[in-house]
Structure 1
């Protein structure tokens, strides 16, 4: 009986080798969402043309094609799912939620770390301590749905470019909204003035919404975009325009009590409000639509981007915030993202409730 064991082992080994040989000769078909390389190259070529992309060398172009290919296939894999199980902040994990949609956009040749370093801009090293948070009465009127876009209080979606100036765009969007609500006139205001003149921030090296709002409040207002257009680069502050050519007046700003989505909703019911979020994940980079629950961090120490909440509502039993971004209308829902509202952890989706601000007139 013992002498038959070597023969059995040999037969099993031969069977394994035969199976491996058959598998190598007839590999399993790729998943349906994985495109042939020729089709991905065609898409990459059209994508380069659409966004006027050029690279300094063939090697760099091939590197970027590899990233584009990975992102294309990952988008296909993500889109093939009917629901998404995500790990979200605040200690809640494995929660199955309504699937958001993702899609290719101008950031297709970047991995998330590169994307975050090039297109966000919150700078935590610029320290500023605003006045203590301003509480609004909980029994004050708060509509079930608010969308300041429908009231004409939101300008078109803008693009910050590779200047890390999200903080300036978020601050300006909030001021534009407040100015329209107060005066009845919607004026596109100057982000470049904040990039050039806010000494509390670092221009295209990143900054903070609170220092930007503090600068505008101390100077009494801000110039229009038409008179101080955006370049996307650090420039010399035009002091005359800062002091004397103001198209919207600002007297101060307030902080919404931290980690309190009820207070945030009360503030947004009155005007657009800026928030910081963690925008470092692949799903955020390629967000196309739907209510975003994550993945992203709920840790305030990990926020890296500033956006402006311009409303909130509820659909199909899901509550969400409406946020204006500064990555052009090619990203997200025509430049906006819907973020899950009233989540079980205090900091909110992607830590949006950790540090909100709004200007006052």
Structure 2
């Protein structure tokens, strides 16, 4: 009986030793914790549902919703990575558009689209559409013409609010409309929102919601002497039958012709913009452009392959040493800097940033 106590004591020690050996690896190598900044799938799905509610998104079936969630999550990761790089490289933070540093990005209504889908649905310059048989004359302006260091037609009340072309590839019509609106305000003192729909429906040189050209839209309006207002010929986001009566007679803004800025010449483009808003074509085939939120957009983009039309409504050459163009877009004020984008001015290649100097046009009266 006396020998059983030491034996029990030894067995207890052995049991404790074995238990410690089993627990030791777990203690020495605890499982890695998920970084606090990385959200779980559950959290991400909740954020996605909030994003869907904000933009009134719905999908035809669970499979499509899952597909769009995965695209949205990839885009969210891209935006987060871009912001991290911007914070580290610039030192000024990614949330300071007033500094006019390099551009930064943020989530918007295009979050469930990959870049190819985005370009296909929301651009609209169609290089295959028929060009004008009689293109407008290239009209150089005198280098001695009035050209201030900064112009912003918004401050002169010559720019209507940001519009939304929707999933109709009609940017070409919106760019032309903005240029006509600006000229009409400058000449008459009256700001009128003109109809993009009449151009979508009636411009036979373009393909409606399949894309087109701002110059054919300007040619159509000039040939009829003017254009109806948005109120009288509202936008539907789909190509319809041309209302010939409104095309021919119901005009709220007059246009007698249009002209082309000498291509690949930012100096000439500035002279034209000093007089009025001007349509241009640019390349927007990058995620950085899809989710642009502010600052000066320096790319990536191509200067030789353009796919989207915007309207240059100003420029500046002395703001903190930066030179930039102010471009009005047609993707609602949720995109970009309240619907606008700032592009570098006077770059070293002749086509301009993202190709903006390749084919500028403006209406005349």
Q: CA deviation at 1:140?
A: 1.4
Aligned to 1:303: 306
Identify which of 346, 350, 353 aligns with 2:357: 353
User: What's the CA shift string for 1:316-342, capped at 9, x where partnerless?
Assistant: 211000000000000000000000111
1:82 aligned counterpart, secondary structure: helix
User: What's the CA shift string for 1:139-170, capped at 9, x where partnerless?
Assistant: 11101000000000000000000011000000
Identify which of 237, 243, 257 aligns with 1:232: 237
Q: CA deviation at 1:229?
A: 0.3
CA separation in 2, counterparts of 1:54 and 1:211?
A: 36
Q: CA deviation at 1:39?
A: 2.4
Aligned to 2:153: 148
Equivalent residues of 2:179, 2:277 under 8 A apart: yes
Equivalent residues of 2:86, 2:104 under 8 A apart: no
1:326 maps to 2:330 = yes
1:44 aligned counterpart, secondary structure: helix
Identify which of 111, 129, 132 aligns with 1:108: 111
CA separation in 2, counterparts of 1:33 and 1:190?
A: 47
- Give 1:34-183 correspondences, 5 Å limit: 34-82=38-86, 98-126=101-129, 127-128=131-132, 129-183=134-188
Please give the root-mean-square deviation of Cα atoms over the aligned residues, in Å.
Answer: 2.0
Identify which of 327, 330, 342 aligns with 2:346: 342
User: What's the CA shift string for 1:116-144, capped at 9, x where partnerless?
Assistant: 00000001112225133100011111010
Q: CA deviation at 1:35?
A: 3.1
Q: CA deviation at 1:98?
A: 3.8
Q: Which runs of 5+ in 2 are unaligned?
A: 1-25, 90-99
CA separation in 2, counterparts of 1:319 and 1:193?
A: 36
Equivalent residues of 1:34, 1:73 under 8 A apart: no
Asked which structure has the greater CA Rg, the reply is 2
Give the aligned length: 327
User: What's the CA shift string for 1:11-42, capped at 9, x where partnerless?
Assistant: xxxxxxxxxx99x9845855x65433222212
Aligned to 1:273: 278
| CA distance 1:135–1:83, shift in 2 (3 Å) | farther
CA separation in 1, counterparts of 2:326 and 2:336?
A: 11
Instruction: Say which is worse superposed, 130-139 or 236-245, in terms of deviation.
Output: 130-139
User: What's the CA shift string for 1:301-356, capped at 9, x where partnerless?
Assistant: x2110000000014221100000000000000000000011111110110000000
CA separation in 1, counterparts of 2:344 and 2:331?
A: 20
Q: Which runs of 4+ in 1 moved over 6 A?
A: none
CA separation in 1, counterparts of 2:201 and 2:112?
A: 29
| CA distance 1:153–1:33, shift in 2 (3 Å) | farther
1:256 maps to 2:252 = no
User: What's the CA shift string for 1:261-315, capped at 9, x where partnerless?
Assistant: 000000000000000000111000000000011011111xx21100000000142
1:211 maps to 2:216 = yes
2:85 aligned counterpart, secondary structure: coil
CA separation in 2, counterparts of 1:267 and 1:200?
A: 25
CA separation in 1, counterparts of 2:298 and 2:87?
A: 12
Q: CA deviation at 1:83?
A: 6.6
User: What's the CA shift string for 1:64-111, capped at 9, x where partnerless?
Assistant: 0011111111111111123799xxxxxxxxxxx943110000000001
TM value normalised by structure 1: 0.87
Aligned to 1:293: 298
